[in-house]
Structure 1
Amino acid sequence: MSQAALQTIKDYHQQTKHQPGRYARSPGYMDWANQPLPYRLYEGAPQIPLPLLQQTKDLPYSALFQRVEKKAESISIASIASMLELSLGLSAWKEYQGSEWALRINPSSGNLHPTECYLLLPEVDQQAAASVHYNPYVHLLEQRATIPDDAAQSLKKMDGFPLMLSSIAWREAWKYGERAYRYCQHDLGHALAALNIACNLNGWQIQVLPNISDEKAESVFALAQSNGVQAETEFADCVCWVSRTTPDLVAIDQWFDRLPKLNYAHSANQLSKVHIDWPTIHQVFSSSHQERLTLTPAKKTSVIDPDTNSLCTANAETLIRQRRSAQSYDQASSHLPLNTFLHNLQKTLPGNTIPFSVLPFEAQLDLVLFVHNVQGLESGLYIWVRNEAHLPLLKAQMDSDFEWTEVIKQQPLYLLQSGNLRRIATAVSCQQDIAGESAFSLAMLANFAAPLEKSPSCYPTLYWESGLIGQVLYLQAEAFGLRGTGIGCFFDDQVHQLLGLKDDQWQSLYHFTVGKAIDDVRIASKPAYFHLK
């Protein structure tokens, strides 16, 4: 392990913390005329149209979190299209005073969408085996290179295909400056969760491949070759395997090792005319992605959870499509009963198959909860311990005055301090009212220093885990008539001080809030792909 890489990551993390009166470095203004295009295009590449779903997949709410009991769909253009539409595709258009913008199934910081998706597909429906890029704006695949016959035949036999996710940091840096790397990574986690859920609706599985290095991925998909603008560098984040059956990971690794260099001929579009350079973002990408993923395998966590389908009658696809981020909450209407609150938390435990199976590593994040209005539970500061091994560590390192009262037997929910924390929740979330006017808000607290000592590659995966949790909370909120909002702006060290943490053993990585949304009636909505009709 490179100590220099580890130090770069720690320096970056400290440097990009928001503080009251001193926010992390950013442009400081919104250069709307130079906003990056939110869609990557490969000009001149052959296009493979993808069909839109004509009928709703009639699968219950439980399919969001549990393996579906159905025969796996065959790998075809239609099933690939379904997977992409219900994970990375558009969900709606919004219009206000002559301006239009698209929303997507996968949420993103500031709706800026740094995540791009690439696939190596076998021959399907008379389409040659090829390296392709997904364009969500027009819902099609751009064929960037063909796969040689020998490699294509081997891929066909494995009954699956690789899928690579990358980040264009400039899309986030345009608005958020140096903190953009953080947002790229938890957006990546949201995308992984959305993909796992969409794969499950097809009866498929998806898993991050830990042995495919980012250097190998960038080479296979020719990211550097096709993207000529240095400021718009596209970084390979992870390669996944999508499969109809349990994959043979050894055979997959061997297939990648034998894969010859592909012939890429098409260049990517330029997203902005003018750029601001943020060298620290390139440095932290390089430092955190230089090693293969080396985390401890996940442990099964037993959960006590009621029959899920009896709690929500909406089907899975409806909830996926209607997910939105709330901009404000009605404090009086933002409440939920204890059993629903507990059910929501249980879905974040790693023992639940979906979406955490996409990243089969040991849970490193616990949830510090600001409970404002949960019926049957007193207001106060709580913690939901997702990894039971963390409990003694947290007790030893957090404020010694905390109560640590077990709220419900056999559930890892502990009361730390009772009282009205609305003002404190708002204050530590950059004074954003949504954190205090909701039913509850939370900070995702990561076991930080210990994983990083094992490998710098753990830095992005901590954020990926936060995105997985965030996607669960988004969908759970929708299922019970509420709405969630991810919060990327918070005062890191003020959260740590509130908890009595004095070093970097634990770090807050992502905030989230859930309540009854106030809809802005001035904003009109249009269907996701109305522009194609």
Structure 2
Amino acid sequence: MPEPTASIAQHYHERTKYDPRTINTKSKPLDWEQQPIPFKEYKIGTAFDLKAYLPETPDSLPNNATEAWWQRLSRLLFCSYGLTGLIPMLGEPHYLRAAPSAGGLYPAELYLVSRGTPMLPAGLYNYQARSHSLVHFWESDIWTKLQVACFWQPVLENTQLALVVTGVFQRSAWRYQDRAYRRIFLDSGHLLGNIELASAINDYRPHLIGSFMDDAINQLLYLDTEQEGAIAVIPLADLLEVKQNLPLTKTIFPAPTQTTYPHIPDGQLLNYLHEATKLAIEPSAKVNWKLGASDGQRTDKYNFPFCLKVSTEMSPIDWGDRLEGLENTVLKRRSTRAYSGTALTLEELKALLDFTYQPSHYSDQGLDGSPDYFDLSLVETFIAASSVTGLEEGCYYYAPKAQELRQIRFKSFRKELHFLCLGQELGRDAAAVLFHTADLKAAIDQYGDRVYRYLHLDAGHLGQRLNLAAIRLGLGVSGIGGFFDDQVNEVLGIPVDEAVLYITTLGRPQSQ
């Protein structure tokens, strides 16, 4: 059980760990008739159809400036969260989206706030993925309210559009109960990864804001806060406008830590943690958003003496002319359902790590060389290599600054990985399994309990880059949010103070 002095985020993390001794007693049968619909509908509002602005081919040229503007926005939204496939089912088909989601539940919603442009009147819009349209559900100049709610973040002074990502809690909690909070933020991190890359394709630069007055944003969007809450605000700088090529700023600042709280029954942990990690409405609060020289800077850890070290430096993945290969990869991405068990090559693993962790290597191709995260210095990466040609079996720490793998345990982990991933064959048959972790106590000491959101968002963001790199190379990839938390550390030799955030399995897909 959690320590009595643990903060609410630590308490939540301990309470929602899967344990092999209790997992079967805590699981509840699913009521399929109560499964939430993963789409939000508005009975009033003006619809802006975006389908006409999806080019037949990525190199299709618009006819005029107006069409070019709409084409860029349409492609950005479609590549971020659009419907890219469906699975026929009795009744309503199951739709697949550009961003992966645990259980296909898609808990995130995507809103657009317009300051007022010649193309898009001021007000609030919801992205309707099912029809690929924007519904203008509130017509008003609310940009100043957005600025206040974001503590006057300076990027908002010079931009005209902003995305807001929210989470609809019950969509995921219906299946995963209290632990769903982790998955909601991982899924939203996948979406942030897509927004980053889709923005680069379409000449936008997204600037992340994680510190905002939650209820001010919720009120701005007219959300039912018992059902839905804001997760991230993302001003979109238009890189075709000189004045919007803006300097980088901080994405977050320290928040309170709560160590006194009542007994929280099962089923109420998710909502309690979300409420506890909100930032209060303080219109007069002053925040220094200027980026410091050391903000978010990574430092490599776990440099054990005499351990095997393997360089991961290599040539970047080629994403094609005008990033055509990236757009195609986003739209055809699917989570792998089964692996063949055959090996990856070390060069393939290096390529996956290079795209995920070394974005500066891709600036020559038109990608952002320094994309926004909340604080990547808090997230660590470990890799269990089961079958990688040219790499000894074992568990490795990945040092992104040094660009090398450092072996911390040597043995075959296939059997243990099958167990750690709740008996999923993906863990057993993958060639390599990547673990994102964080020292949760240290992170909370730095940023307060709200950091629990940021850790999972950043892990999901990294996971999406892994997804896309793997698909580009013709490999299989699938994220896993359900695992035996403590046993991962014990089996792989990962330090006990590293909380496991996310698992990504990598391998060769089983032929159908």
- Calculate the TM-score normalised by the size of structure 2: 0.79
SS at match of 2:175: helix
Gaps in structure 2 of 5+ consecutive residues = 148-154, 239-243, 253-264, 281-286, 301-311, 361-366
Equivalent residues of 2:123, 2:142 under 8 A apart: no
Asked if 1:518 is matched to 2:510, the reply is: yes
Equivalent residues of 1:444, 1:509 under 8 A apart: yes
The more displaced of 357-366 and 133-142 is 357-366
Paired position in structure 1 for 2:433: 441
Paired position in structure 2 for 1:9: 9
Paired position in structure 2 for 1:78: 71
Paired position in structure 2 for 1:57: 58
Find the aligned partners of 2:319 and 2:187 in 1 and give their Cα distance.
Answer: 31
Paired position in structure 2 for 1:260: none
Amino acid at match of 1:321: L
Amino acid at match of 2:326: A
Amino acid at match of 2:499: Q
Asked if 1:29 is matched to 2:29, the reply is: yes
After superposition, the Cα gap between the structure-2 partners of 1:96 and 1:326, relative to the gap in structure 1 and judged at 3 Å, is: farther
Aligned length, in residue pairs: 451
Paired position in structure 2 for 1:297: 295
Equivalent residues in 2 for 1:371-410, closer than 5 Å: 371-386=385-400, 410=402
Asked if 1:163 is matched to 2:150, the reply is: no
Paired position in structure 2 for 1:240: 234
C-alpha deviation, 1:481, in angstroms: 1.0
Find the aligned partners of 2:462 and 2:115 in 1 and give their Cα distance.
Answer: 32
Equivalent residues of 1:27, 1:175 under 8 A apart: no
C-alpha deviation, 1:75, in angstroms: 8.2
Q: 1:315 aligns with which of 322, 325, 336?
A: 325
Amino acid at match of 2:353: L
Find the aligned partners of 1:120 and 1:75 in 2 and give their Cα distance.
Answer: 20
After superposition, the Cα gap between the structure-2 partners of 1:156 and 1:287, relative to the gap in structure 1 and judged at 3 Å, is: closer
Find the aligned partners of 1:277 and 1:417 in 2 and give their Cα distance.
Answer: 37
Equivalent residues in 2 for 1:137-152, closer than 5 Å: 137-148=130-141
SS at match of 1:357: coil
- 1:22-73 per-position Cα deviation (integer Å, ceiling 9, x unaligned): 22986611211111001011112221211352233259xxxxxxxxxxxx99
Equivalent residues in 2 for 1:260-409, closer than 5 Å: 278-290=267-279, 297-299=295-297, 304-309=313-318, 315-331=325-341, 334-349=342-357, 352=360, 354=368, 357-359=371-373, 361-386=375-400
Amino acid at match of 1:57: P
SS at match of 1:86: helix
After superposition, the Cα gap between the structure-2 partners of 1:175 and 1:307, relative to the gap in structure 1 and judged at 3 Å, is: closer
- Whose RCO is larger (CA < 8 A, sep 6+)? 1
Find the aligned partners of 1:377 and 1:160 in 2 and give their Cα distance.
Answer: 49
Find the aligned partners of 2:453 and 2:199 in 1 and give their Cα distance.
Answer: 23
Asked if 1:424 is matched to 2:416, the reply is: yes
C-alpha deviation, 1:197, in angstroms: 0.6
- 1:320-350 per-position Cα deviation (integer Å, ceiling 9, x unaligned): 111101111111xx32221221121122226
The more displaced of 76-85 and 292-301 is 292-301
After superposition, the Cα gap between the structure-2 partners of 1:310 and 1:104, relative to the gap in structure 1 and judged at 3 Å, is: closer
C-alpha deviation, 1:128, in angstroms: 1.9
- 1:500-524 per-position Cα deviation (integer Å, ceiling 9, x unaligned): 5675x3111111101222365xxxx
Find the aligned partners of 1:310 and 1:144 in 2 and give their Cα distance.
Answer: 37
Equivalent residues in 2 for 1:183-198, closer than 5 Å: 183-198=183-198
The more displaced of 212-221 and 307-316 is 307-316
Gaps in structure 1 of 5+ consecutive residues = 60-71, 254-275, 389-409, 521-533
SS at match of 1:91: strand
- 1:228-271 per-position Cα deviation (integer Å, ceiling 9, x unaligned): xx4xx101111111111333789x99xxxxxxxxxxxxxxxxxx
C-alpha deviation, 1:4, in angstroms: 11
- Calculate the TM-score normalised by the size of structure 1: 0.76
Paired position in structure 1 for 2:473: 480
Paired position in structure 2 for 1:467: 460
Paired position in structure 1 for 2:150: none
CA RMSD of aligned residues (A): 3.6
Amino acid at match of 1:279: Q
Q: 2:114 aligns with which of 107, 121, 125?
A: 121
